[in-house]
Amino acid sequence: MKPIYEPKARAKEYGDLAINIYTGCNHGCYYCFAPHVLHKDIETFRNVEPRKGIVEAIKQQIEKEHITDKLIHLCFTCDPYPADIDTTPTRETIKIIKSTGNHVQILTKGGNRALRDFDLLDNGDSFGVTYAGYGIGKCFDRPESEPNASSPSERLHSLAVAHDLGIKTWMSCEPVLNAIDIENFLGLNVGYVDLYKIGKLNYHPSDINWKEFGHRCERICQSNRQNYYIKDDLRKAMEADK
């Protein structure tokens, strides 16, 4: 098993290398693309456990291939902090990555579950959360679209803690479920998000006008002098004739 791999297609926009620590994810997000990619039914995908021998396999691959000075993304087809299971393999993975001169880029909906591992991170690492837009007044609830994930407000709290510790922070506004909420949040210009990556909703129907949404988000970010990145799918929609 070679757990460290080079992402392809849409995933390439997130980083040069990546690791999927677990066999799936139990957050229950209706829009998740991973079961299709992994050719798993939903029930199997949500029965989560660490991939067998994952930590030792990561260590062996890094040593054998002399991987160093890379930013390694955790994770694409799972969450590094799934609900209600022991996430020690995530901590051990971070330890190996850091001890070999590499850096970690985390993306999670696990919220405060991630706080335990902040002692391992520094300003060469990046901690991010998914914020899909949940509607006015919904930030403190667990949305139906992500029933077992931490609440959006808890995710924002984890970002603020990371930022205060000097860890780089970022927000993945993808998939986008509620455009107005995303735009409103961008307009708040909070000080604890260092980078916004803004995309759209793929694989599912939506009545959002992506061209207009993308341009509105870009104007807000530029007006606030925020660091942002428009994902390729959204950029293509923004540049479309109609």
pLDDT at 108 over 70: yes
Annotation: CATH topology of 9-238: TIM Barrel (3.20.20)
pLDDT at 118 over 70: yes
C-alpha separations of 204 from 31, 201, 210 in Å: 7, 7, 13
Contact 233, 175 (CB under 8 A): no
Q: Residue 21's closest CA among 128, 100, 96?
A: 96
| Cβ atoms within 10 Å, residue 173 | 25
Please, which pLDDT band fits residue 62 given cuts at 50, 70 and 90? very high
End-to-end CA distance of the chain: 46
Strand, coil or helix: what is 47?
coil
pLDDT at 15 over 90: no
Least confident of 32-46, 62-76, 106-120, 138-152: 138-152
Res 143: pLDDT: 87
Please, which pLDDT band fits residue 242 given cuts at 50, 70 and 90? low
* Predicted model pTM: 0.94
Tell me how far apart the alpha carbons of residues 7 and 139 are, in angstroms, rounded to a whole number. Answer: 31
pLDDT at 11 over 90: no
What is the SS3 assignment for 17-36? EEECCECCCCCCCCCCCHHH
Torsion of CA 170, 155, 33, 48, to 10 degrees: 120
Once rounded to an integer, what is the mean pLDDT over residues 29-45? Answer: 92
Beta bridge mates, 50: 22
